[in-house]
Amino acid sequence: MIQHDAPTTGAQVSGGILLLLVAGGTVAGATQTDETGPILAFVGALLVVLITAVTTDRRQRRQIAAEGSRHTETLTTQSGELRRQLAHDRKLADLQHLRALLDSCAAAHEESSASCIAFAVALRRDPGTDDAPVLAVLERRRDRYTRSYDAARRIEVETRRLEMRYPVEHPICATFIEVHDAAVARFRFLSEVEDGKTMITSEQDEEDTKNGVAMMVAFEKFAAAVRSSIGAQIDEATRRHE
């Protein structure tokens, strides 16, 4: 970077002119006396002082300007690095939040699947047999119904959370909506069987199995969409962080 000399201040110019006038007057006066040698020596000393002062001032100004420029460049560089680090930290935090949300969605699916399986098992008990008291069977069925209902509601909540994060057409959101629809369809089917207060038939059992497979297939599509959409982002962000 080319450094330009700092402009000489008005005080320096005035002081220099004054010293030159004084020196000129002194030299003129010296020619009228017998003390020319000492007077000229004095004038020379004044000129040396003036030249030294001006030169020193300019050098100091150049040094100060150069130091200021270096500090500015350093601060600019550090500011850029901090902005990049903050952006990276925000991305990491966002990915961690997303991973927590997706883990919660997976847990909701597992809870719904397990509760529906337990509900279907309870419906296979005939409340009319002697070894299975009607009230006990009906109470167990009602408990399994409540758990399945709560699990279906949790999947609905997780679906709404995903819809706040992604547009509904996004692969992650779209596939989890399929998980939600399959889980609700299975729960509704089992709840209709429970309303009949009878043992589940072989045809109904086959239908429930199909609904369970539909839930599993929908979740596999969701897991594939998650790996495809954010797996590479998570790996890249983790490598940069390390």
Three-state SS sequence of the chain = CCCCCCCCCHHHHHHHHHHHHHHHHHHHHHCCCCCHHHHHHHHHHHHHHHHHHHHHHHHHHHHHHHHHHHHHHHHHHHHHHHHHHHHHHHHHHHHHHHHHHHHHHHHHHHHHHHHHHHHHHHHCCCCCCCCCCHHHHHHHHHHHHHHHHHHHHHHHHHHHHHHHHCCCCCHHHHHHHHHHHHHHHHHHHHHHHHHCCCCCCHHHHHHHHHHHHHHHHHHHHHHHHHHHHHHHHHHHHHHHHC
For residue range 17-60, what is the model confidence (pLDDT) as tens digits? 555 555 555 555 545 555 566 666 666 776 777 777 778 878 88
CA distances from 103 to 22, 87, 94, 158 (A): 89, 24, 14, 10
**pLDDT given for residue 126 in this prediction:** 65
Does the predicted TM-score (pTM) go above 0.85? no
**pLDDT given for residue 180 in this prediction:** 96
- pLDDT at residue 97 greater than cutoff 60: yes
**pLDDT given for residue 37 in this prediction:** 64
- pLDDT top residue among 127 and 47: 47
Q: Taking residues 101-128, report their average pLDDT.
A: 89
User: Of all residues in the chain, what percent carry a pLDDT higher than 70?
Assistant: 72
**pLDDT given for residue 129 in this prediction:** 58
- pLDDT top residue among 128 and 46: 46
- pLDDT top residue among 170 and 31: 170
- pLDDT at residue 75 greater than cutoff 80: no
Q: Taking residues 54-67, report their average pLDDT.
A: 80
CA distances from 127 to 87, 98, 140 (A): 62, 46, 10
| CA dist., res. 89 & res. 93, Å (int) | 6
| CA dist., res. 207 & res. 185, Å (int) | 11
- pLDDT top residue among 199 and 130: 199
pLDDT tier, 113 (very low <50, low <70, confident <90, very high otherwise): very high
Q: How high does pLDDT run on average in the chain?
A: 79
- pLDDT at residue 1 greater than cutoff 70: no
**pLDDT given for residue 48 in this prediction:** 74
Inter-residue long-range contacts of 194-203, CB under 8 Å, 24+ positions, other chains counted: 194/119, 194/123, 194/141, 194/142, 194/145, 197/127, 197/138, 198/126, 198/127, 199/123, 199/124, 199/125, 199/126, 199/127, 199/128, 200/120, 200/123, 200/124
Q: What is the separation, in whole angstroms, between the first and last Cα of the chain?
A: 37
Q: Taking residues 4-25, report their average pLDDT.
A: 51
Residue 162 C-alpha from the chain's centroid:
18
26 and 39 Cβ atoms separated by less than 8 Å = yes
- pLDDT top residue among 114 and 134: 114
- pLDDT at residue 219 greater than cutoff 90: yes
